[in-house]
Amino acid sequence: MSDCCAKQTPVGGALDMTPYIAAVRAHTATGSTPPRCFVLTFGCQQNVADSEKLAGMVEEMGYEITATAEEADLILVNTCAIREHAEQKALSVVGQYKHLKEKNPALIIGICGCMVAQEHRRTELKKSYPYVSFTLCTSVIYRLPQYLAEVIANGKRIMRGEEEHTVAEGAPIRRESTYRASVSIMYGCNNFCSYCIVPYVRGRERSREPAAVIAEVRDLVAKGYKDITLLGQNVNSYGRDRADGYAFPQLLADLDRIEGDYTLHFMTSHPKDATRELVDVMAASRHVAHSFHLPLQAGSDRILKLMNRHYDRAKYLDILDYMREKMPDIAVTSDIIVAFPSETEEEFDQTLQMLRRARFDMIYSFIYSPRKGTPAAEMEGQVPHDVAAARMTRLLALQNDIADAQNAKLVGKTVRVLSEGQSKNDAAVYTGRTDQNKIVFFAEPVPEGEWVMVKIERAAAFALYGTKNENKGD
Ligand code: 5AD
Ligand code: SF4
């Protein structure tokens, strides 16, 4: 396994970046126009949030953000390591940048994110991608000015692993949207699900100070943000590293007290830690959306045990049923892994049974991908790809029917939608999302970032179709 996670510095133990920022600024101010930076992001919402920080920092250092790699003077690739495919995609893109570096020898290429926290990937980049200038791990992204200043000053490559795991506050954020934002409330994961690389590449759980989170959300609401998602690998363990017992339900309740016209989402929750107290806070809140992402992963108790998930089917259904009892309109989504090592046909059928019972509004499903250094990668009974693919096809077909039926229940109802403006595929159609994150299409022009009440007339598995309805909801 990689050498990351070896050290941890206390929360807030960040290094002062001011001199490095000044050094890079002196460099970027030399030309007649500002140099340009292209940021490419792979992976989850946490990575998207990290990229917004990377972009905020480079802007602060005098770069202009550009939408294409071809015209960039600095390229930052924010990588994902969750499955092999994600890593291969990132490596292939980095491979394509070789000719850009040949055309422009001054181009700086930095590889950030989860992939480079693994030593074997850094070694590979060092050997086979000599035009890459530096690697920067997720828990030290605040050090970007330092790395950049060093590369600019002496041209040496910096292929370092993670030096510490800290919570660095105050990095500038360049938000992609003016109405939808995510706020990291904690970093890292302690769970070590046996298939998962995240605890190795993102380190142990560190919670941000409640006051810092509350101030950030308050600021977003004041700026007019309508939809705010709290992010963490397992938000339910927020605060466990604190001595005062302040936990996620308290944070959610405190955030809900902020006055304004906004909705709160959060992800991800671990079923072993999702509590009735949390559900009660949601049900009593004014701003928390009735939407819950609760990864099941598998429907067999034996497989759940092998996955090191610390819950069984009964426990999962218990909290799910409680949610539906307290919030009948709640949309529940989930993650499913197909073909975990040694999963039998019967055990896979148990996953299908759980889908029929749980009736998720949507699932993200993945074929198991062995991750170097995780326990599952060494387990007996790795499932052949053709078997896994056949199971995935059955899973998707079943879920399609379930999502279809779930969405059909909304036909005739009027729901609140946050407009995302004109559809990318058809300028005559507008699109947006409900509080439950369901995609809605409607004909009436509603500027992006504004709420609109839409009466649903037709439903499909992945989208709803309707008409603006001024006469409120039901
Ligand atoms: N193979 C396949 N899927 C995985 N996930 C995490 N690790 C793996 C892996 N090795 C899935 C889980 C998790 C989601 C973010 O990615 O379902 O909830
Ligand atoms: Fe990975 Fe499990 Fe942590 Fe989620 S809870 S990030 S699946 S180890």
Question: Residue of the nearest CA to atom 4 in ligand 2?
Answer: 233
Q: Which atom of ligand 2 is closest in space to residue 309's alpha carbon?
A: 2
Q: Is pLDDT of 14 > 60?
A: no
CA 216 to CA 24: how far, in whole Å? 27
- Tell me: the pLDDT tens digits for 342-363? 999 999 999 999 999 999 999 9
Query: Which residues face 365 on adjacent strands?
Result: 336
Residue from 48, 196, 233, 392 to probe ligand 1 pocket by mutation (most atoms less than 8 Å from CB): 196
Instruction: State in Å, rounded, how far the first CA of the chain is from the last one.
Output: 54
What are the phi and psi torsion angles at 192 (to 5°)?
Answer: 50, 50
Q: Is the CB of 203 under 6 A from ligand 2?
A: no
What are the strands of the beta sheet with 64-65, ordered from one edge? 64-65, 36-41, 74-79, 108-113, 134-136, 158-159
Task: Fold for 18-159, please state it.
Answer: Rossmann fold (3.40.50)
DSSP string, 406-449: HHHTTTT-EEEEEEEEE-SS-TT-EEEEETT--EEEESS---TT
Q: What is the pLDDT of residues 294-327, one digit of tens each?
A: 999 999 999 999 999 999 999 999 999 999 999 9
Using CA atoms, how far apart are residues 304 and 297, in angstroms rounded to an integer? Answer: 8
**Mean pLDDT of the 427-432 span:** 94
Report the interhelical angle of 144-154 vs 18-28 (nearest 10°): 50
Nearest CA to ligand 2 atom 2: 193
User: Which pLDDT value is given to residue 9?
Assistant: 42
290-407, what's its fold? Transcription Regulator spoIIAA (3.30.750)
CA pair distance 254, 231, nearest whole angstrom: 16
CATH class assigned to 414-468: mainly beta
Other Cβ atoms closer than 10 A to 322? 16
Q: Is 376 in the pocket of ligand 2 (CB under 6 A)?
A: no
Give the tens place of pLDDT for each residue, 216-232: 999 999 999 999 999 99
Phi, psi angles (nearest 5°) of residue 291: -150, 135
Domain 177-286 identical in fold to domain 414-468: no
In one-letter notation, the amino acid at residue 210 is P
The residue ranges of every structural domain in the chain are 18-159, 177-286, 290-407, 414-468
Alpha carbon distance 355, 404 (integer Å): 13
Strands 414-422 and 451-459, by their bridges, are: antiparallel
pLDDT of residue 51: 97
Distance from residue 366's CA to the centre of ligand 2 (Å):
14
Q: Is the CB of 199 under 6 A from ligand 2?
A: yes
Q: What is the pLDDT of residue 15?
A: 73
Q: Which residues line ligand 1 (CB under 6 A)?
A: 82-83, 195-196, 295, 297, 335, 337, 366, 368-369, 371
pTM: 0.94
Q: What backbone phi and psi angles, to 5 degrees, belong to 445?
A: -70, 120
Angle at 473 between CA 467 and CA 474, to 5 degrees: 120
- Return phi, psi of residue 328, to 5°: -60, -25
Residue 31's pLDDT band, with cuts at 50, 70 and 90, is confident
| Exposure on the CB side of residue 142, measured as CA atoms within 13 A | 18
Instruction: Look at the domain 177-286 and name its fold.
Output: Transcription Regulator spoIIAA (3.30.750)
pLDDT of residue 139: 84
